[in-house]
Amino acid sequence: MKTLNRAITSILLFIAINSFSIVYFSTKRWIALPLAAVFFLIVNITPTFKKQTSFRIKILSDGAELLRLFLVTTLLSFMYMSFIWIKALVAGSHVFMISLVIVILAGSVLFWNGIIRVYCTSVQLGIKWRITGIVCGWMPIVNIYVLVKIIKIVLEEAEFETNKLELNMARKDKNICKTRYPLLLVHGVFFRDSRFFNYWGRIPSELKKNGAVIFYGQQQSAASVKACGEELAERIKSIVDDTGCEKVNIIAHSKGGLD
């Protein structure tokens, strides 16, 4: 059903993008052009009506869908324009040029709408594929391969994130990560826990969602091992005094394990 819906949307969008030349060479019913424009606008606002588990995933998956539609409609439009160009030139060069300009503008809107959504919301693309997309965007053939790769990465990310959120919602009351003693995360050398970004990535938030109680070492990691050890000892005493727990479970990385 998903494949069928995508195929129907792609065909209708292709017709909408090429509606000027289609109407010109067939019915001459120009009332179809505003309808095509409205359909094109709706697709750009929400290419899918599937309810997602979060707003970010909705933007992400819709961005990937717009890029997929861009690829399909561009290919179909290229084949269509190659087929009608002789007829269009006979009818008048303005017909072909107007059709070509519309196709280029529509494709640009689809592409930039999709790529901006994807670049702003994807985590898995990272810096590597973002830069690769920018650099290779000007290289024929290569840009198609890179775009297909980006779409694949984003679709897999959207599916993974959706499954993860659904799993967390299904087990949110089970507290499967709750431990008898709180967790103390001790970071490595030359880092702070969350001064500019969280050293531990998304791990703490996922643990908390599933019942874990988390504290951070907050030690000056560039200091000597002895100094860091003393800071951590004070931190542990502070946590024990504040929470009433007898001890803590320590998860340490690199120098956080104090050599």
Structure tokens given for 204: 């703490």
Place of tokens 């694949």: 152
Structure tokens given for 77: 């439009």
Q: Is 83 found in the same domain as 148?
A: yes
Query: How does pLDDT run across 18-52, given as a tens digit for each residue?
Result: 988 888 877 677 788 889 999 999 999 998 888 87
Q: Is 111 found in the same domain as 188?
A: no
CB 39 within 8 A of CB 16: yes
Rounded average pLDDT over 149-178 = 86
Q: At what angle do helices 142-170 and 55-91 cross, to 10 degrees?
A: 150
* Angstrom distance (rounded) from CA 24 to CA 37: 16
Q: What is the CATH number of the domain that holds 201?
A: 3.40.50.1820
Amino acid at 90: V
**Count of beta carbons in the 10 Å neighbourhood of residue 45:** 9
Q: Is 161 found in the same domain as 109?
A: yes
Q: Is 193 found in the same domain as 143?
A: no
103 pLDDT exceeds 90? yes
Structure tokens given for 47: 């290419």
Q: Is residue 177 part of a domain?
A: no
Q: Is 10 found in the same domain as 42?
A: yes
Structure tokens given for 176: 């499967």
**For residue 41, which phi and psi values (nearest 5 degrees)?**
-65, -45
pTM (two decimals): 0.74
192 pLDDT exceeds 60? no
Tell which of 110, 134, 169 closes a domain. Answer: 169
Query: How does pLDDT run across 117-155, given as a tens digit for each residue?
Result: 999 999 999 899 999 999 998 888 999 999 999 999 999
Whole domain around residue 239: which residue ranges? 183-257
CB 131 within 8 A of CB 150: no
**Count of beta carbons in the 10 Å neighbourhood of residue 87:** 13
pLDDT > 70: what percent of the chain?
Answer: 88
pLDDT > 90: what percent of the chain?
Answer: 35
Rounded average pLDDT over 105-122 = 95
What is the secondary structure of 4-60 as a DSSP string? HHHHHHHHHHHHHHTHHHHHHTTT--TTHHHHHHHHHHHHHH-S-----SSHHHHHH
